[in-house]
Amino acid sequence: MLINNDTIIKDDDSFIRTKSEPVELPLSEENKQILRELFQYVQDSTDEEKAQKLNLRPAVGISAIQIGIPRQLTAVIVHEYDKNDEPITYQYMLANPKIVSRSIQSAYLENGEGCLSVPEEHDGFVVRSARVKVSGYDLLTDQNVTIRARGYLAIVLQHEIDHFSGVLFYDHIDPKNPHPDVPGAMVI
Ligand SMILES: [Zn+2]
């Protein structure tokens, strides 16, 4: 399957709003292959040379609906720093990830969010939970996982899981008040 900036479904196509169904576990070979290709996209998209050659837009995550497959499959690669300021990479190939709990505290990206399916910029804070607990099956490690995510990783996971409900990041922005004051929010 060719995944690039031309083949990714954009928000002018109402299919992007389709709800994604959970997949059967253990994963079929077909669903494993989809996850591998999604993961490969994210990996290649941040390699400048490959991204240019293959027409990839840099991303930290992509979900199956964005390549026209309404199944609860998503790949995420986030480079962060841990508590000791050491670089750490969080990477997942997730099937049926679900948010099982979330913090009361909010978080948002100061410069707003972007999405492979959204060519235009949408200015505004996307206020999400600062911490989420996500459970699902991870093909990368071949096990059921519970991810305790905070900050940027938490935002990315919420963004991708939103895709399963057909929700895009700008749905969370109030055009009348795109930069609300959010008391106690983690600003990233
Ligand atoms: Zn997206």
The domain locations on the chain are 14-187
Tokens of 146: 């519970």
Is 86 annotated in the active site?
Answer: no
Tokens of 131: 């911490």
**pLDDT value for 90:** 97
CATH topology classification for 14-187: Peptide Deformylase (3.90.45)
Q: Single out the residue of 22, 32, 36 nearest to residue 91, CA to CA.
A: 36
* Ligand 1 center–CA 26 separation, angstroms: 26
**pLDDT value for 125:** 98
* Cβ–Cβ < 8 Å for 7, 67: yes
State the catalytic residue, choosing from 48, 86, 113, 160: 160
> How does pLDDT run along the chain (188 residues), one tens digit per residue?
889 999 999 999 999 999 999 999 999 999 999 999 999 999 999 999 999 999 999 999 999 999 999 999 999 999 998 889 999 999 999 999 999 999 999 999 999 999 999 999 999 999 999 999 999 999 999 999 999 999 999 999 999 999 999 999 999 999 999 999 999 999 99
**pLDDT value for 136:** 98
108 φ, ψ to 5°?
-155, 160
**pLDDT value for 153:** 97
* Ligand 1 center–CA 134 separation, angstroms: 17
Separation of alpha carbons 80 and 96, rounded Å = 24
* Ligand 1 center–CA 118 separation, angstroms: 7
* Ligand 1 center–CA 101 separation, angstroms: 21
